[in-house]
Structure 1
Amino acid sequence: MDTLDVVIVGAGFGGIGAAIQLKRLGYEKIVILDREADLGGTWHVNSYPGLAVDIPATTYSYWFEPNPHWSRLFPPGAELQRYADNVANKYDVHRYMRFNSTVECARWDEDERLWQVTLADGESLKTRFLITATGLLSQPKAPDIPGLESFAGKVIYTMAWDHSHDLSGHRVGIIGTGATAVQLIPELAAKAADLTVYQRTATHVIPKIDMKIPVWLQWIFAQVPLVQRFFRLMTDALFELALATALHHKGLRRLDIAMADLAKINRFIAIRDKELRRKLTPDYDFGCKRPTWSSNYYPTLTKPHVHLETNSIQRIEPDGIVTADGHKTVIDTLVLATGFDLWDANFPAIEVIGRKGRNLGKWWRENTFQAYQGVSIPYFPNYIAMCGPYHFSGFSYFNSIEYQMRHIDRLFGELRRTGATEFEVTEEANALFKERVGKLLEKSLFTLGECTNSRSYYFNPDGEATLLRPTSTRNAIREGSRFPLSDYRFR
């Protein structure tokens, strides 16, 4: 069996970015493995009605590869899928990809000094370096509700949408009111004869200032890239301000309140019913959950055939849903917008076993979730976790990808310069980084704010906000380019 240079697990934007950077460094024996039938990650598996990016596309894209042809400021999901395909083809990394290939385990072989990667079909690959870019929003979280399996109608998970199922005239129930549901509910209401929305946690929804990008402006973006760069600087600045509000909670508390007030005004304008407004008012601070944008979510909930249910669900029966007050709603179709199994399914998404038999998933759960610069863990040589703890920066996943690409460039460049074959972050460097980000989080909204009832995926099962890197995007990119090489051992 030939030894590969790199195995990348995941063919979403993270895996594509890692492959592009490694190709620039001269690596060619690369394999990108993905369990799905095509690239794109979450933008491949999700296709529900109303799907769109919730960050302006100028910011939600690679800095080095702007796309002048977005149709809208917040384009639909299909355009993100096409963008992924175009980037992979332009940078010639599509040829590294193997689809329908599920990775079960990766184990460090201390004798051969290689990673042994085992696939679900029994195939085994040997590689010098391992990168996991498995994303976050890929495993649906099934609700633990008695009787779910007994429902006789159609059940649809939002991430496995059945486009052949016509909802016209149906009585539909949807469980969940997170970011996905906020996009989906207006689309369901447009077709269903009756729609019941089951809400466990209200969400702050601020107006979505979306717009078509006219063809003439797309032409200008293509011919004069600096114009699109200027637009990106504006959208980047907006989200950096939102990040600063969360990270510097005391100093920018008034701005956080102002954003909550904007959501409040949005509710007041759209909803005249005081009781309905009360039910839709969150009891946690703005920013504890990912910001949600919509200008038609609240108006949809005021329509006569749309009903908001805030009583907890007691059980599901073959023909409907029974709430804790004993009320039963008869439905034909049940839509599950219950979020993603983020922590249990993605940290890590595959079994990873490093030096001395250290199991990464078990070690994280026994020693808290941690990763140096969001990418490296002691006892795991030649391993990069692109979705490690503290990796998420600036509310756009592309910010995280780009600083990680810089980290890869500096790290693998040092391997080439010195002729070394292995790298491993030191325990001291990891501990210092963990201590530093811990102190920064102590000053943030996620510690000082009222986030208890938010049920946000930012927080791990122990209630710590270890998904987020509590620094600015500029800082993350700078550290990705300049981190001390002495923080790693090379051999």
Structure 2
Amino acid sequence: MNAQYDAVVVGAGFGGMGAAIQLNRLGYDNLLILERESDLGGTWHVNRYPGLAVDIPSATYSYSFEPNPHWSRLFAPGAELKRYAEHVADKYRLRRYMRFGSVVTGAVWDEANAHWTVSLAEGGPVTAKYLLTATGFLSQPKKPDIAGIDTFGGKVIHTTAWDDEYDLAGKRVAVIGTGATAVQLIPEIAKIARELTVYQRTPIWVSPKLDFPVPKAVRRAFAAVPFTQRAARLTGTALLELMMVSGVLHYRQLPMANRLGKLWCQAHLRRQVRDPRLRAELTPRYSFGCKRPTFSNEYYPAFTKDHVHLETTSIAKIDETGIETADGGRREIDVLVLATGFDLWEANFPAIEIIGRDGRNLGKWWRKNRFQAYEGVAIPKFPNFISLNSPYSYSGLSYFTTIETQMRHMDRLFGAMRRRGATEFEVTREANDAFLDRMTERLGDSIFTLGNCAPANSYYFNPHGEATLLRPSSTLNAIKEAGSFPLEDYTFA
């Protein structure tokens, strides 16, 4: 039985769109992109909380082959990322492939017909020769497991489902969480709430945000002379690579890079918070880089306001009208904001049930045999399958580096398959094992192994305590290997 589609892509965020663009370049046009949300854009469609912005320079957070010269700020607000996603979809004619409101429940490899059968929550299944999952790393909201949280009688808002119509002005607000989302959100709530209490489990390293409006003259230069924007992109990438990537993944070789990152953040905190007690509460106890750091000029000053309170004692319970901490303290609130992040490992690796050759269940296999994926994209016993959010796949600080590295891998892989007159590919167990051993060995040089990461509560670490999300190599190395991996690492049929 012939498959209905050349390929099914799960997810219409930047990863899924990048995969579709690459498939088009390879000559595949009979595609289906399934998206559970009502529109494209992934996290930039779902998230719309106040203060939302990209947390690295905008010039680096975009496809290198589709630069946007019109960013209004160095760190563009979320609405501009959404518009950029729409621009990409329109320019590359990707909407014709997209089916929104389509919740994928699972996929099974059909050995007899050599294709994938993809099941949907509503409607019949679809079949495709190739399956690509681009469900994102941060796509499954996490609700905190706190006693009584469901009994709270006031307004509850999770940051991934922001209620634009609800007015926080004059309200007593509690925010649970101090991750990257909270760093952007808390200063905005502090501007309008009557009282704001932030419940912090783990502090976050925050560095200065060198943000400013991009002058119109610069934007015109970017549009007229694209090389100028490429130079800005390269400069931003190099600086982030040195401070964040090298100092974290190559800590043994470059401990000073890590130390510089830590000192930069500590100096920022000292400048903005004079109270030594408050400063101590906001200072992480884990090594710089164990948890993704972020940028902000407004986060620390928010806690110096009289109506903003930082609570570091753990929450004992929530009842109809307020929150009680473990020391018996209690605060009455009107609104509970959950900036509690995402369920990364349990609900997202993989995001759907995927059954490969010989009935292998990917989720169960990962949890029993360690999280692993050859070059961050392929898994043995899963033919014609590309996983775009996998262990060891995230390279660099910009998600677009990861996306384009995977697109480059696809180009080499599908090109080799076509030259051989084949229609199937599968990575060998030997190649996968060798890659896993190499990544594990390289992690021995990282802050994850050599630093103090236990207090970080970082999503970088899987349930086994292994830091298998980031690829422990330079960005240049990841790009190079994506275009030169041994073709013998795959079997073709």
TM-score grouping bracket, smaller chain normalisation: over 0.9
User: Which residue number in structure 1 is paired with residue 386 of structure 2?
Assistant: 384
CA separation of 1:414 and 1:296: change in aligned 2, threshold 3 A: same
User: Which residue number in structure 1 is paired with residue 451 of structure 2?
Assistant: 449
Kept in 1, the 8 Å contact 2:286–2:452? The answer is yes
Q: Which amino acid aligns with 2:117?
A: Q
Q: Distance in 2 between matches of 1:416 and 1:202?
A: 50
Counterpart among 369, 373, 377 of residue 375 in structure 2 = 373
User: Which residue number in structure 1 is paired with residue 24 of structure 2?
Assistant: 23
Q: Distance in 2 between matches of 1:58 and 1:291?
A: 19
Work out whether 1:118 is the aligned partner of 2:119: yes
Q: CA deviation at 1:402?
A: 0.4
Q: How does 1:113-192 map to 2 (within 5 A)?
A: 113-192=114-193
Q: Distance in 2 between matches of 1:257 and 1:217?
A: 34
Kept in 1, the 8 Å contact 2:51–2:188? The answer is yes
User: Which residue number in structure 2 is paired with residue 330 of structure 1?
Assistant: 332
Counterpart among 248, 252, 255 of residue 254 in structure 2 = 252
Work out whether 1:402 is the aligned partner of 2:377: no
User: Which residue number in structure 2 is paired with residue 3 of structure 1?
Assistant: 4
Work out whether 1:231 is the aligned partner of 2:232: yes
> Alignment partner of 1:453: what SS?
helix
Q: How does 1:308-347 map to 2 (within 5 A)?
A: 308-347=310-349
User: Which residue number in structure 2 is paired with residue 98 of structure 1?
Assistant: 99
Q: CA deviation at 1:255?
A: 2.4
Q: CA deviation at 1:302?
A: 0.4
Work out whether 1:57 is the aligned partner of 2:81: no
Unpaired runs of 5+ residues, structure 2, are none
Q: How does 1:425-440 map to 2 (within 5 A)?
A: 425-440=427-442
Identity score, percent = 61
Q: CA deviation at 1:42?
A: 0.6
Deviations 1:279-337 (A, max 9, x none): 11110111111121111111110000000000000000100000011111000000000
Kept in 1, the 8 Å contact 2:119–2:125? The answer is yes
User: Which residue number in structure 1 is paired with residue 488 of structure 2?
Assistant: 486
User: Which residue number in structure 2 is paired with residue 209 of structure 1?
Assistant: 210
Q: CA deviation at 1:214?
A: 1.2
Q: Which amino acid aligns with 1:123?
A: G
Higher mean displacement: 243-252 or 323-332: 243-252
Kept in 1, the 8 Å contact 2:198–2:309? The answer is yes
Q: Distance in 1 between matches of 2:270 and 2:475?
A: 34
Kept in 1, the 8 Å contact 2:253–2:445? The answer is no
User: Which residue number in structure 2 is paired with residue 413 of structure 1?
Assistant: 415
User: Which residue number in structure 2 is paired with residue 79 of structure 1?
Assistant: 80
Report the TM-score when normalising by structure 1.
0.99
Higher mean displacement: 267-276 or 392-401: 267-276
Q: Which amino acid aligns with 2:412?
A: R
Q: Distance in 2 between matches of 1:230 and 1:378?
A: 39
Deviations 1:450-472 (A, max 9, x none): 11111111111111010011111
Q: CA deviation at 1:414?
A: 1.4
Q: Which amino acid aligns with 1:130?
A: L
Q: CA deviation at 1:256?
A: 1.2
Deviations 1:199-242 (A, max 9, x none): 00011111111010011111110000011111111001012112
> Alignment partner of 1:58: what SS?
helix
Q: Distance in 2 between matches of 1:390 and 1:66?
A: 26
> Alignment partner of 1:38: what SS?
coil
Q: CA deviation at 1:2?
A: 5.5
Q: CA deviation at 1:245?
A: 1.2
Kept in 1, the 8 Å contact 2:155–2:335? The answer is yes
Q: Distance in 2 between matches of 1:7 and 1:149?
A: 38
Deviations 1:58-110 (A, max 9, x none): 11111111000000010001111111110111111121111000000100011
Q: Distance in 1 between matches of 2:340 and 2:401?
A: 26
> Alignment partner of 1:482: what SS?
coil
User: Which residue number in structure 2 is paired with residue 298 of structure 1?
Assistant: 300
Q: CA deviation at 1:250?
A: 2.1
Work out whether 1:358 is the aligned partner of 2:375: no
CA separation of 1:2 and 1:243: change in aligned 2, threshold 3 A: closer
Kept in 1, the 8 Å contact 2:3–2:115? The answer is no
Q: CA deviation at 1:258?
A: 2.1
Counterpart among 448, 466, 469 of residue 468 in structure 2 = 466
Kept in 1, the 8 Å contact 2:246–2:257? The answer is no
Higher mean displacement: 258-267 or 222-231: 258-267
Q: CA deviation at 1:276?
A: 0.7
User: Which residue number in structure 2 is paired with residue 271 of structure 1?
Assistant: 273
Q: Distance in 1 between matches of 2:264 and 2:16?
A: 37
Deviations 1:415-474 (A, max 9, x none): 211110100000000000000011000111111111111111111111101001111111
> Alignment partner of 2:316: what SS?
strand
Aligned length: 491
Q: Which amino acid aligns with 1:158?
A: T
Q: Which amino acid aligns with 2:377?
A: V
Q: CA deviation at 1:246?
A: 1.1
> Alignment partner of 1:286: what SS?
coil
Deviations 1:30-75 (A, max 9, x none): 0000000000001110100000000101111111110000000100
Q: Which amino acid aligns with 2:32?
A: V
Unpaired runs of 5+ residues, structure 1, are none
Q: Distance in 2 between matches of 1:269 and 1:227?
A: 34
Q: CA deviation at 1:353?
A: 0.1
Q: Distance in 2 between matches of 1:325 and 1:189?
A: 25
Q: Distance in 1 between matches of 2:81 and 2:368?
A: 37
Q: CA deviation at 1:19?
A: 0.3
Q: Distance in 1 between matches of 2:184 and 2:326?
A: 27
Q: Distance in 2 between matches of 1:191 and 1:209?
A: 25
CA-based RMSD of the aligned residues comes to 0.9
Q: Distance in 2 between matches of 1:67 and 1:193?
A: 39
Q: CA deviation at 1:272?
A: 1.4
Deviations 1:349-404 (A, max 9, x none): 01000000000000000000000000000000000000011000001110000010
> Alignment partner of 2:60: what SS?
coil
> Alignment partner of 1:265: what SS?
helix
Q: Distance in 1 between matches of 2:74 and 2:124?
A: 43
Work out whether 1:243 is the aligned partner of 2:245: yes
Q: Which amino acid aligns with 1:225?
A: P
Q: CA deviation at 1:264?
A: 1.3
> Alignment partner of 1:433: what SS?
helix
User: Which residue number in structure 2 is paired with residue 198 of structure 1?
Assistant: 199
